[in-house]
Structure 1
Amino acid sequence: MEEEILQIEELSINAFPAILTELYDGWILRYSNGYTYRGNSINPLYSSTIDLENKIDYCEDKYFKKGLPCIYKMTENAAEGLDTCLEKRGYTIEKSADIMVCEIDKSTVSQLQDVNISMDMTDEWLEGFLNLNEIIEESIKSTVKTMLSNIQNPVICVNINEGDTMIACGLGVLENRKIGLYDIIVMEQYRCKGLGGKICKEIIDQGIKNGADMAYLQVTSLNEQAVRLYNSLGFKKLYTYWYRVKKVI
């Protein structure tokens, strides 16, 4: 399990590049102008040599000076005692999510007629993605575009339109024969119509065509509707991650 968690965490970091990344004694510090927890968090993936309290002091200083909360993305792989130490220092758990994985059935590939696919991240897809996520502030738009354009691995951009309006989309990122499903989103008035499932199936199918033999995704632990969808597609929970957060002093 430890190796599987490490592999998925590394894939996730590569699939969602931060604007700035710093490696500090086995911890990966990510900064993205405050956009999302995953883009602005400390990932304690590897073994350390520096005293734990001193490391936390260093990280707090780095993030607080940038006006950002200090956020740790935690898994069961984290160093023994780190979660307890953070809790004692006033860090609260604000979000958690499950990582789900699926062994791909390569006999089920079939392209859906109403789903658009691109192996390039076009301006049109990016604008639709921003609209679906209701991102309107120009500075945040710029951050998101930079992060997504910095993805170094092959991408699969999928969307469904109603006329000229994008009503559903998703992003696949392929690395090491694994296809990650990210940012599956459907416009509110079109939900519960099977569009999310179509997006997921098309990303997986395109992953298969490009050599993937396993799929993974992340879903908010309490999102029962999404979990049911992913279970119906063959995904099973592998592990949970959670964020420990301390606000700027």
Structure 2
Amino acid sequence: MFMNHSITHIEELSLNAFPALQTEVYDGWILRFSDGYTHRANCIWPLYESSIDLETKIKHCEKKYTEKKLPTIFKISDENNMDLDFILNASGYQLVKNVQLMACNLSQVPLWPVENIHITKGMNESWLDAYIDFNGTQTKKVHDIAARILQNVSSNMFCAELKQDNQVMGFGRVVLDQEIIALYSLHINEKFRRQGLGIQLCKALMNVGIEHGASIACLQVASDNKSAISLYEKLGFQSMYHYWFREKRTANSKEIID
């Protein structure tokens, strides 16, 4: 049911939904820099066809990232770039994260009844504070980088907070781009887990897509997070593809904050 949506198409939407502070294009590769805030905003996305040989390109990228005191990180999908992945592995790049992208056909999903979830178009300070606090990255520098990234999302973005008695129990956001919605930043406070709140939050965000005419919903989840994958499968999501990050550090590389 997702044949009309290639991995390249989905990856482009993902780029738009979380724009890096600085982006360069190099022979079909997208180089992203955000001062060490998140792997996906500080990595190379080998998204399009190349003309330069891979080893030359890798050395060029390593120089760029080393100059910024960042580790060199590549984002690799399982549809293409396997030759690149082989070279990176042989060159000492470590596998640091493995992610599953799941998708759902919204035409087969009804509007869900949900409660205690407040949704706004765009991001407000309350939502950003919850996002920063729950991820354990409360420094002003990280707060400012996250705000700049999310404020630069040009597609329609809706942010949800799950509240009770003025306490934020969870949050998430959804980005609408063309006929696809992508769910991001889904989080339930540890004190309130295993109460079905994650499902309620996902349903509220899927409702946004249905109400705005989207046909496909997608989300990303760590491949080893079996409980989350099971939850999403109950809502109709199926695995579409995998991607992973390979990283090489130098002695001066900054720590990446996710």
TM-score in same-fold range (> 0.5):
yes
Alignment partner, residue 176 of structure 1: 178
8 Å contact 1:181–1:203 — kept in the other structure?
yes
Counterparts of 1:1-40 in structure 2, within 5 Å, are 4-40=6-42
Counterparts of 1:1-249 in structure 2, within 5 Å, are 4-105=6-107, 108-249=110-251
Q: What are the superposed Cα offsets for residues 54-84 of structure 1, whole Å, 9 maximum, x if unpaired?
A: 1000000000111110000001343351111
Percent of matched pairs sharing the same residue: 39
TM-score by length of 2: 0.93
Q: Counterparts of 1:107 and 1:53 in 2: how far apart (Å)?
A: 46
Deviation at 1:216, TM superposition (A): 0.3
8 Å contact 1:45–1:78 — kept in the other structure?
no
8 Å contact 2:162–2:168 — kept in the other structure?
yes
Q: Counterparts of 2:5 and 2:84 in 1: how far apart (Å)?
A: 19
Alignment partner, residue 255 of structure 2: none
TM-score by length of 1: 0.96
* Structural RMSD (CA): 1.5
Question: Structure 2 regions of 5+ residues with no counterpart?
Answer: 252-258
8 Å contact 2:116–2:164 — kept in the other structure?
no
Q: Counterparts of 1:185 and 1:25 in 2: how far apart (Å)?
A: 36
8 Å contact 1:44–1:74 — kept in the other structure?
yes
Query: Secondary structure of the equivalent of 1:81?
Result: helix
Deviation at 1:163, TM superposition (A): 2.2
Deviation at 1:9, TM superposition (A): 0.8
Deviation beyond 4 Å, 4+ runs, structure 1:
none
Aligned residues, how many? 249
8 Å contact 1:47–1:79 — kept in the other structure?
no
Query: Secondary structure of the equivalent of 1:97?
Result: strand
